[in-house]
Structure 1
């Protein structure tokens, strides 16, 4: 943009899921979280749209397939995606007005950032507390030991730069930020001269240029603020230790985490960055990687640490190799093993097949297109773009791949990179995080002390202002607003017909096969479901482990490392998982199954089915060493997943008492499964586990239980058919029935109240009710109801007033569960009370036609969202829900 220097990248592609994003370079000088809080407050109203939280309100006035905003170490970006041109223009205008002309109201800063407020705002006799959405969000985020490990390691790795601060904010320092500093940060950083615009899809470039140019009128070029990003190289390695909370769900003696990090190249060199990414893959990815063999297979740790891999989110990249689930006495051994493996690879190089597999994965990745392809490109270029790299250079994968092949042919290319960055490198960080049972008590004590110091400094006038602000904020939150200034779609803007997916149904060797023949870029997508007979709850608990074992234990003839090399050389990945599908007409009936899935280039169709057959028939369940490693890894990763998905775990556990489908979902993927896997991890003798897995293997995956779905191009139908015949004929015609002595549990609904203690400073809550089957006429009404409750009551009460990061109501059309939930919630008991009050509230609330329309629009977002080609027809295949049923 000539007048301001704003940059704009447009990618013209025949894709209806169009993307818009505007972002700003926002490196920080402290850990007050100013860009993160600014990200929240810019979306709290603007000059043209002066309503509270237009961003949230637009969720129900739009068909957006994606709407969000992100704060990273170097930038803040605001993206959305939609297939509707009117919707696109509406959202683009709201987004641009929000970032360039926000209100940045003082009370919005207090609500979204932090504030001192009485526990009950209307009662000055109640104690003063810290409150605020971002404050509580980051309390939850920094309670997650994996997130904390990643951040603290990066801070120690890059001292003296903006990266030694947390851009999202550290709760210790968030309470130092003032409203004036927020406004000043916006003035300096949210200027067109400091901006990047990204547009993608099939909408015309001319209209993008016109709309952006209109919004930038009146701005002139200005000097862009800078911070120091240059790392001062070390002359010797450094050793840093810190602590985190003890996790009550994991073994106490295996909660240490560690990593070794090596400073690497400037990301302004796209080819060196590309090469280092491939090197990281070769060192770390999969069972055949040298680091996996040396660190995981040796049982030195349960899985790689959160920061393991090649990190390009900073202007100078770095590569980390680390472990979690470590015993304290093994720390030196692990560090020495990492050194030893690097030296060995430097001397011996990588197996040529492994390099070939890495190149194959990149070539396949270029062909594999997803529904959110445009967003994927955006995420791939933003860090480099905000650090001075031309975005077009970041998209030239084939050019970099050709150059890489040339360098490999010259010999010892990766070995030289290892020597340069990973062996002869004094800028190396040895980082250790140990659990401390007093961690949260100390954190709470520190917070109390910070609060006391602030309260002690308050004058009488300050206290009057706090009471006044609390009441004023409460009043503004409860006000009914005039939203007519916000643009909206209308039901007339939406097609009354769902997109019809053409499917063909045939049979191969008596197995039903669903065909989706379409343009796939030369890729075949395979999915099969093997229906399960009635199992006891005891045996069901082992089903997820059985599925993982198929892709983790190897066979009697081949190690898993050898098979993993084949999978990567000939496919885009294979998966085995459990499936639970509630009957669309009856919540008390369901189908349970094992899902096999994979995709490959059409030239490798036969290879893919051959590998699948090998794993089904030959998995070596007696490989106790690998089984132990798998159980430890699963136990660790399941516990780690709770921090980001606690509300889902809460909903699932609560729902398990209502329907057979949710009962089984809880057994196989909920907190019950997490505890079960941790119990298995404590076992020394796994002979009983081996017998259970063998028992399952004798019961499942037969010709008579199988149904298959194939998505491929016209030319690939015949080779798929031939290969499928061999694949199916290789399966047993039938399998054993479960042992009659193994009692099948009869499901009985019950209504418990449960609390799970977890190592977090904030909580997750859920309350659930049984709804109706998918085909019931009340299903649509319950979906609308959940939207109305969230938009008009729960969001305001749980997030705006109580400071939780998120909360609301949702209705699962397929599982028939109506649920209330909260996410990273500091006031859980009040939230449970809010759930109850919401029911009384809605019974007496009259809704306008506009409010009902908005709730319907929010539901159509999911119904009309574009699908990846691999997902087309899968709703019918997995759940039996046809396009006609969706239309009804």
Structure 2
């Protein structure tokens, strides 16, 4: 389960995503009980529920056995099992039909997506709008998963893991919604999980014991020793302390809270550690009754019988109003802890400027602003990459950067992290001047064309988790009562955009002037480390704890001791899990799916070609052997993989290379690949994995880009190399606070096998330490020399041991050759 806040679209060349209606924005913060999320969820880089029927929404993406043509018989106004069809919208570019329905009795809304996709997905979404920092929606998400009326066992989600064939199970809390999604390819399993999810969402037990376990409690440090100190405990309490140990989390929270201060976005939905102990069990139960109520998907009869027939329409306004606009810009300064892992202790200040933009329910306006955001910050050819990143004032873009469409009002941020405190005003001047330059000069047409090509490719590129991605991308706009089917119609949005561009050559420049240069709802946030930050936070927590403990009576203390022992005992008790549904052997498919792979050899290299209905997209994968790479070069492999497509190649400098990659492909990437044989742990495959994809019509330029990298890679620009190294180190260091458990597991396993040792060297804390030392080393020429040696070893035909192309036509073999 996870608490999530959607994050602004990633800045810079590491992401080519556009926050289009169906293009997922990257989650900003994920807090989750299962994984490690960064906002407000159970354990987990976006949850809210509604308590009125017309606010509760169920969204589904389900594989359909009847052909999509059969949905043509449905039309608005038709009645189905207590529902009225509001809209039927075929979307040819996504190969689906969307059906929007309303439940007659409760006004609950349901979106059904019909598509020939075996991976069925289902989700229940609630609008959850907290008005304080106690983290009530986040804690509620945790507790809802601690047992329900029909399934009264601890953590039924976790218990279902070994009873299910699910391809995804979790829950997540964002700033203003909570979502309970799952997916499965097995029909019986899908029905089982739907039953568990619906009962958890609408009939949770919400026991006080679970509130104390998942939220917060006072308890003796040693629950068996009444003389030990009384301290704060609780899953979410400790989770959020971990979240806000991150400089990024502090900065992101400060930006949203101060840019949108008038309503729910002015508070932390995940919960601030110092505010969480103010939440009571009674307040949590009231929040559930006011925000958790139903809506619907396919399987209408299941939802009607198990949920909706027990509810009446509930008229309670949980809508989020638009943020009142400011007449003057504002400025805020916040503090954070000092990060001793960063290379330069004197450059740990972050500054960003944020602009409030438009209503997220205005799909076209939001889409245009998303496009402009991508043109401003994404790729090495973006104006802010040139003016900010290449200034070498900082280590990278600020953690909040790009277009943010996960709130009612969308917004844009841009700035730098890893700068000297004295450079703040210089950065702010650069931001202002860059906007003025763009407003005067506009964007090169080739960049606009490349971005539109990326959108076309992303529409055709459909992954195995298509339903879940669709659910997440539509959830915010639907949460605010927009028509979700509008967000599916990408071609219509692009068509209108092209017409506007053709009619007005100043179209994008006018947007830049309106929303950035003339926009007075502008917030500047500056964050600098305070060497006493941790100490001050500990003092505030200690003072709050002392205030609560000092008020305890002798009876209170006895009750705390007793409750601690009861909770500890309950956590260790074995449970009867027979009430949980499971799948039987008869529910399994008896015939496996066979995929034909044609294998041949070209000049001594094994080539695999797989014919699949890829929607005119070609996928390329290649493994190049690095087992014989000298040991002193192997720690440099992650750096080599990171920079190999960002330094230029052949006749292209790095900017020209970036532009061609964006124009013709979905990106070129390299990564190390380490795996051991299941029968012999000492037999380890050591390789570099190269991958890319493109539209069928662009396969030639895609392979030309790879050919240049193989034959004429440029690694001599030590200035460029140094900048990329520093940016990479900053990203890795900042990942430790939210992925610390993964680094710890990798490090602890490093002595168990050769494969694990290599994984630690290449992607563990050992690698972070190694790169940090490199970034502090002035001998960049030596580093460049080592990278050239790696290129000579791995970027040649003799190192290739597997080459794969997945396409719609085997006739591509000649192109591959």
Is the TM value for this pair above 0.5? yes
Q: Which residue is 1:11 aligned to?
A: 113
| d(CA) in 1 for partners of 2:636, 2:762 | 8
Superposition map of 1:791-810 within 5 A: none
Show the counterpart of 2:545: 451
SS of 2:346's equivalent in the other structure is helix
List aligned pairs for 1:58-207, cutoff 5 A: 58-192=160-294, 196-197=295-296, 199=297, 205=298, 207=299
Partner residue, 1:510: 604
Residue 6 (structure 1) shift: 0.9
- CA deviation after TM superposition for structure 1 residue 431, in Å: 0.6
- Name the stretch that deviates more: 156-165 or 45-54: 45-54
Report what 2:437 is aligned to: 344
* CA displacement at 1:555 relative to structure 2: 3.6
Equivalent residue, structure 1, for 2:421: 328
Q: Give the corresponding residue for 1:302.
A: 395
Residues 254 and 593 of structure 1: CA distance in aligned 2, closer, same or farther (over 3 Å)? same
The aligned residue for residue 375 of structure 2 is: 282
**Distance in 2 between the 1:709 and 1:339 partners?**
48
1:559 to 620, 632, 653: 653
* Alpha-carbon distance, 1:228 to partner: 5.4
What SS does the corresponding residue of 1:217 show, helix, strand or coil?
helix
- Count of residues paired in the alignment: 713
- Say whether the 8 Å CA contact 1:518–1:711 is kept in structure 2: no
Query: What's the secondary structure of 1:175's corresponding residue?
Result: helix
Q: CA deviation at 1:167?
A: 0.6
Q: SS where residue 694 of structure 1 aligns?
A: helix
1:554-598 superposed Cα distances (whole Å, 9 cap, x missing partner): 247322111111001111111112222323432122232222211
Shift of 1:227: 6.0
Alignment partners' CA distance in 2, 1:480 and 1:714: 52
How many angstroms does 1:387 deviate by?
1.0
- Deviation readout 1:45-102 (Å, 9 max, x if unpaired): 1112222222221222211111111111111111111111111111111111112111
Residues 51, 483 of structure 1: 8 Å contact kept? yes
Q: Separation in 2 of the partners of 1:122 and 1:53?
A: 25
Structure 2 contact 320–408 (Cα < 8 Å) conserved: no
Q: CA deviation at 1:222?
A: 1.2
**Aligned counterparts of 1:254 and 1:496: Cα–Cα separation in 2:** 61
The 5 A counterparts of 1:377-456 are 377-410=470-503, 411-456=505-550
Deviation at 1:210, TM superposition (A): 4.0
- The secondary structure found in structure 2 opposite 1:253 is coil
Matched residue of 2:580: which SS?
A: coil
In the alignment, is the contact (CA less than 8 A) between 2:646 and 2:657 conserved in 1?
no
Q: Is the 8 A contact 1:28 1:227 kept in 2?
A: no
The CA deviation string for residues 114-142 of structure 1, in whole angstroms up to 9 with x for no partner, is 00011121221111110111111111111
Contact preservation (8 Å) 1:29, 1:227: no
Question: Are 2:684 and 1:684 aligned?
Answer: no
Gaps of 5+ in 2: 1-102
**Alignment match, 1:476:** 570
1:423-479 Cα deviation digits (max 9, x unpaired): 101111111111122211211121111111110011122112111211221222222
Match of residue 782 from structure 1: none
Partner of 2:53: none
* Cα-Cα RMSD: 1.6
Q: Which residue of 1 aligns with 2:316?
A: 224
Cα distance in 2 for residues equivalent to 1:296 and 1:363? 28
Q: For 2:386, which of 293, 300, 320 is the aligned residue?
A: 293
**Aligned match of 2:339:** 247
Checking the alignment, whether the CA contact within 8 Å between 1:537 and 1:667 is kept in structure 2 is: no
1:616 aligned residue: 710
Q: Is structure 2 residue 353 aligned with structure 1 residue 272?
A: no
| 1:477-532 per-position Cα deviation (integer Å, ceiling 9, x unaligned) | 22222222221123443346653322111011221101111111111111111112
1:550 aligns with 2:644: yes
What is the deviation of 1:214? Answer: 4.0
* Cα shift at 1:37: 0.6
In structure 2, the residue matched to 1:375 is 468
- Asked if the contact 2:350–2:526 (Cα under 8 Å) also holds between the matched residues in 1, the reply is yes
| Distance (Å, rounded) in 1 between the aligned partners of 2:486 and 2:319 | 25
Q: Deviations over 1:355-397 (max 9, x none)?
A: 0000000000111010100000001011111112111111111
Q: Which residue of 1 aligns with 2:669?
A: 575
In the TM superposition, what whole-angstrom CA distance separates every residue of 1:332-371 from its partner, at most 9, and x where no partner exists? 1111111111111111111101000000000001110101
The alignment partner of 1:586 has SS state of: coil
Give the aligned partner of residue 238 of structure 1: 330
> SS at 1:542's partner residue?
helix
The structure 1 segments of at least 4 consecutive aligned residues displaced by more than 6 Å after TM superposition are: none
| Distance (Å, rounded) in 2 between the aligned partners of 1:227 and 1:364 | 35
1:705 aligns with 2:799: yes
Distance (whole Å) between structure 2 residues aligned to residue 436 and residue 677 of structure 1: 26
- State the match for 2:749 in structure 1: 655
Cα pair distance change 1:585/1:57, threshold 3 Å: closer
Q: Which one has a larger percent helix, Structure 1 or Structure 2?
A: 1
Which whole-Å CA distance do the structure 2 matches of 1:478 and 1:544 have between them? Answer: 43
Give the Cα separation in 2 of the matches to 1:645 and 1:534: 31
5 Å matches for 1:582-597? 582-597=676-691
Q: Distance in 2 between matches of 1:713 and 1:56?
A: 38
Is 1:485 equivalent to 2:579 in the alignment? yes
Deviation per residue, 1:145-191 (Å, 9 max, x gap): 11221111111111122101011111110000000000111111112
Alpha-carbon distance between aligned partners in 2 of 1:654 and 1:221, rounded to the nearest angstrom: 54
CA distance in 1, matches of 2:567, 2:458: 49
